[in-house]
Amino acid sequence: DGGITQSPKYLFRKEGQNVTLSCEQNLNHDAMYWYRQDPGQGLRLIYYSQIVNDFQKGDIAEGYSVSREKKESFPLTVTSAQKNPTAFYLCASSMFEFREQYFGPGTRLTVT
């Protein structure tokens, strides 16, 4: 079955710790994205990547970092510099940049 996987579904961390969220896709899509979703707000783009070894900052990249060493994988690191890291994080991919996007199940991160 083709799709996008994110793990874990729930993640708890102490303030001051970096944490890496995984995102893997087997859809053979070139473009991948990371979004953050907070209650009452639209999805906000953190980073996106069109091809391997290349990525661009989205609207709220501060405090986050990514890598794209393989086409299938686009992990997101939430660093201790992110002021408000508690949120629902969604990874997505698309065949072409910013066309129909397929989303993973999301990771709910809680930092205390």
Partner 1 sequence: GQNIDQPTEMTATEGAIVQINCTYQTSGFNGLFWYQQHAGEAPTFLSYNVLDGLEEKGRFSSFLSRSKGYSYLLLKELQMKDSASYLCAVLDSNYQLIWGAGTKLIIKP
Name, in order, each residue with C-beta under 8 angstroms of 107's C-beta and a sequence gap of 6 or more.
6, 7, 8, 9, 10, 11, 21, 88, 89
For partner 1, the binding residue among 24, 32, 68, 104 (CB under 8 A) is 104
Nearer to partner 1, 27 or 79 (CB): 27
Q: Check residue 27 for interaction with partner 1 (CB under 8 A).
A: no
In whole angstroms, what is the distance from residue 7 CA to residue 59 CA? 24
For partner 1, the binding residue among 17, 26, 97, 110 (CB under 8 A) is 97
Residue type, 91: C
For partner 1, the binding residue among 14, 40, 54, 83 (CB under 8 A) is 40
Q: How far is the CB of 96 from partner 1 (least distance, A)?
A: 10
Contact 88, 34 (CB under 8 A): no
Binding site for partner 1 (CB under 8 A): 40-45, 90, 97-106, 108
